[in-house]
Structure 1
Amino acid sequence: MAALKRITSIEELAQAMEDSAHRPFLLFKHSTRCPISSGAHREFDAYLNHNPNEAVNYGVIYVVEDRAVSDAAAERLGVKHESPQAILVKNGQAVWHTSHSDITLEALEGILAE
């Protein structure tokens, strides 16, 4: 299983963005209060437990608990905040994103197989 790192500070977010120059970074924004987000989290976990791309770093922001970090990610990446949301980052730039019920094992396998 690929490691999923919880991002709890703006400094950790900045480091993940910087590291995306060398390894793509898939960011999952999760609301612990939303049943749709819980379903997306299950799909994300299924991807990580199935056959994840080991050349990618994986991170999660809990949007309720770490609102400032979530807002900073939206601003820095230029992607309107939604939760749940998955954002693929390369070279510090969002190159793909999706949200809600479009976060599926199949969608993640498709975009991360490239």
Structure 2
Amino acid sequence: MNWNKLTEAGQIEEIKSLSKEKPVLIFKHSTSCSISSMSMDRLTRKWQTSDNEKVEPYYLDLIANRELSNQVAREFGVPHESPQVLLIKSGNVIYDNSHFGISYADLMGKI
């Protein structure tokens, strides 16, 4: 899985724009949380190379970028959780989930 790192506020507008052509996945990950690591592992183990053609994946390190995570929550109107996935299409969140609710099958079913 080739993650794009979400590290700057300006990338939020880029994500909104990109999502008009291709859905965008944001995975909010806490590097100090075992549940977050497990959720991320479950997602990445099932990820297929061909999925990169269907959805653009972004990774947000919550420990290093907490204020950016808060901005993502405000911009997309989804309360912050960790771990959390947001699936964005045409600039809007069409799916979100957190913790053990993060499911590869559910995400891919929404694309």
Task: Kindly indicate whether residue 83 of structure 2 is the aligned counterpart of residue 84 of structure 1.
Answer: yes
Q: 1:61 to 1:76 in 2, by over 3 A?
A: same
* Structure 1: 4+ residue segments shifted above 4 A: none
Q: CA deviation at 1:53?
A: 5.5
- Between the two proteins, what is the percent identity of the paired residues? 32
User: Could you tell me the TM-score, scaled by structure 1's length?
Assistant: 0.87
2:18 partner letter: D
- Structure 1: how far apart are the matches of 2:45 and 2:58? 15
Q: 1:47 to 1:109 in 2, by over 3 A?
A: farther
The alignment covers a number of residue pairs equal to: 111
* Kept after mapping to 2: 8 A contact 1:47/1:108: no
Tell me which residue corresponds to 2:54. Answer: 55
CA deviations 1:73-113 (Å, max 9, x no partner) are 1000000000101111011111111110011333333333x
1:9 partner letter: E
Task: Kindly indicate whether residue 96 of structure 2 is the aligned counterpart of residue 97 of structure 1.
Answer: yes
- Give unmatched runs, 5+ long, in structure 2: none
- Structure 1: how far apart are the matches of 2:46 and 2:8? 25
CA-based RMSD of the aligned residues comes to: 1.7
- Structure 2: how far apart are the matches of 1:81 and 1:16? 18
